[in-house]
Amino acid sequence: MPLRGKSRLRQNALAAFLHAIPLALVLATPSTASGQQRAATPSGIAPNAAACHDPAGWNIACLRARYSGPAAGWPAPTIDAGVQWHEWAPVPPVADPPMQWTAANPGQAELAADVARPPVVALGQMLFFDTRLSRKGQISCASCHQPQRAFTDGLPLAVGEDKLMGRRRSTPLYAAPFAPRLFWDGRAASLKEQVMGPLHDPREMNHDAAGAVARLRETDIYPARFLDAFGGATAASSPATGSASSTVAPASSAAGSTASASASASASASASASASAAMIPTAQAPAASTTASAIDADRLARALAAYVASLRPEKTRFDEFLAGRADALDDNELLGLHLFRTQARCMNCHNGPLLTDHQFHNIGLSFYGRRNQDLGRYEATRDPADLGRFRTPSLRNVAQAGPWMHNGLFPDLRGLLRMYNAGMGRDAPPADPPDPYAPRKSEHIKPLDLSPAEIDALLAFLKTL
* Interface size with ligand HEC, residues (CB under 6 A): 60
405 Cβ contact partners less than 8 Å away, ≥ 6 residues apart:
169, 365, 416
Positions in 352-391 near ligand HEC (CB under 6 A): 361, 363, 365, 390
Q: Would you say 309 and 301 are in contact if contact means Cβ atoms under 8 Å apart?
A: no
Site for ligand HEC in 418-447 (CB under 6 A): 420, 442, 444-445
Give the distance, in angstroms, between the CA of residue 309 and the centroid of all CA atoms in the same chain: 12
- Dmax (CA) for the chain in angstroms is 85
Q: Provide, rounded to whole angstroms, the least separation between the CB of residue 14 and ligand HEC.
A: 14
Contact with ligand HEC (CB under 6 A) among 111, 112, 116, 158: 158
Please identify, using beta-carbon distances, which residue of 206 and 247 lies nearer to ligand HEC: 206
- Interacting residues with ligand HEC between 227 and 256 (CB under 6 A): 253-255
CA separation, residue 368 to residues 3, 139, 418, 428 (Å)? 11, 32, 22, 8
d(CA 133, CA 127): 7
Helix (H) or strand (E) holding 192: helix 191-200
Query: Per rule CB under 6 A, is residue 139 in the interface with ligand HEC?
Result: yes
Residue 225 CB neighbours (<10 A): 21
Among 198, 313, 425, 439, binds ligand HEC (CB under 6 A): 198
Q: How far is the CB of 416 from ligand HEC (least distance, A)?
A: 5
**Smallest gap from residue 258 Cβ to ligand HEC (A):** 14
Q: Which is nearer to ligand HEC, 233 or 458 (CB)?
A: 458
Nearest residue to ligand HEC by CB is 254
The C-alpha angle with vertex 167 and arms to 166 and 173, in degrees rounded to 5, equals 80
Query: CB burial class (10 A; 0-12, 13-18, 19+) of residue 280?
Result: middle
CA–CA separation, 437 vs 385, rounded Å?
A: 9
In this complex, which beta carbon is closest to ligand HEC, that of residue 132 or of residue 285?
132
> For binding to ligand HEC (CB under 6 A), which residues are involved?
128, 133, 139, 141, 143-145, 158-160, 166, 168, 170-173, 175-176, 179, 182-185, 191, 194-195, 198-199, 204-205, 253-255, 304, 308, 344-346, 348-350, 361, 363, 365, 390, 392-393, 395, 398, 401, 404-406, 416-417, 420, 442, 444-445, 458
